[in-house]
Structure 1
């Protein structure tokens, strides 16, 4: 009789755990689809053009997609502290926050709470990727951006995650530009993570799961250094052949953890 009661208790606990897991998974998918389909207000473009008068309609659409990518990254990796690699996407985020009613409604649907913007003065002393430590800090952001490809058809620009390529591609003044050596480093580290994961699950060889390379084949094999110049190269990436970036020197303006609150401009 004792064993019967024990088996029943175990089955109950497992059943409750499984239902909660399925429920969380379903909720995450709902939130991801909501962010995918969310339509930003066209009037945000006018606000962005005050800071970036050269921004055209295509650049604004790419900024929307990049900010959408950033939100999806946080949904996929809620425990990570992710940096914001694009000043243009960050400016759009500021504009969105100032539309307080819509931003609150969006956050409730997408995250279940207000998604806080962390001002630059609350950041660590520098988000520069110069040096090994800086590169490692940005790695989680790169990994999350690569993982967003499943949920964001235009997640890549010239073989580089959109958030990392956007500022150089749009040509905005004072935008984020990353050294080719840094881009290559993040791509290689991500490929190793994917390879290790595939080996653990299937014992097979590395694959990104999307049938494509996780870094552009046109990247040179020289070691390079952070801060070196990087020319734009067309690599026939996920966006149907758009070109990626960049020339390099980086200061990230903001980052966000999994908790949310407070916005406005820095």
Structure 2
């Protein structure tokens, strides 16, 4: 019976190691992949005022969106940038190459969802639907150098920075709303983790030193967690909605 258990454990560990290695290879592939120059030319035909730097930013923004999908493959993420969306369209039209890219980057086809830009600004439901995209974009900071532009996720700042007439722009208050919600989620996660650790520490402390000592320890951990959460939320909110690229307008 014991050898069977060891065999099952070995298979499980091997499978876990294989999945970890595959994810690392996929990330490295996404970080190093370069789009064909023809896709940039398709953008330049529609927006002839764009220079090489703006076109390079558009490619980095699309890379950010791909890494967002790599991080959360089951999430229905909205595309926040018209310019990046048009570049994605140009890539998709090269069907064979796009299929090969998706297979190597994700292990499945990453299908395009129709973008629905609001002409007079995002509705409440559209703004709420975009929150997961903001959160995922913020999490890409670990994996790409140019993830932020003026403190805002590149995908959300790209159209304003490129100054395209039909770009999807976001008012500062909406950017602040997304940034605050993201910071609150991070704070809640940190607080939950600290609370679990506190409960475990309190239980151990109570069993060895008595209930009174355990209660004092829990109070100290709770106070420290609260202070850390407030500081983290403040700094994240401030950095995420600052910068001159916060424009007013519409979203998808």
TM-score range for the pair, normalised by the shorter chain length: 0.7 to 0.9
Does structure 1 residue 76 correspond to structure 2 residue 99? no
Cross-structure match for 2:245: 244
Give unmatched runs, 5+ long, in structure 2.
Answer: 196-224
TM-score by length of 2: 0.77
Give unmatched runs, 5+ long, in structure 1.
Answer: 220-232, 235-242, 253-266
Cα 1:142/1:54, change in 2 over 3 Å:
same
8 Å CA contact retained: 1:159, 1:215: no
8 Å CA contact retained: 2:81, 2:168: yes
Counterpart-to-counterpart distance in 2, 1:208 and 1:76: 26
8 Å CA contact retained: 1:149, 1:155: yes
Counterpart-to-counterpart distance in 1, 2:154 and 2:231: 17
Q: Choose the corresponding residue for 2:12, options 13, 17, 33.
A: 17
Equivalent pairs, count: 220
CA drift at 1:134: 2.6
Q: Choose the corresponding residue for 2:229, options 206, 223, 226.
A: 206
TM-score by length of 1: 0.74
Q: Choose the corresponding residue for 2:97, options 96, 102, 110.
A: 102
Task: Specify which structure has the higher proportion of helix.
Answer: 2
Counterpart-to-counterpart distance in 1, 2:24 and 2:84: 23
User: 1:213-244 CA deviation, whole Å, 9 max, x = no partner?
Assistant: 3333595xxxxxxxxxxxxx64xxxxxxxx53
Counterpart-to-counterpart distance in 1, 2:240 and 2:107: 42
Counterpart-to-counterpart distance in 2, 1:118 and 1:159: 27
RMSD (Å) for aligned C-alpha atoms:
2.8
Cα 1:14/1:65, change in 2 over 3 Å:
same
Cross-structure match for 2:41: 46
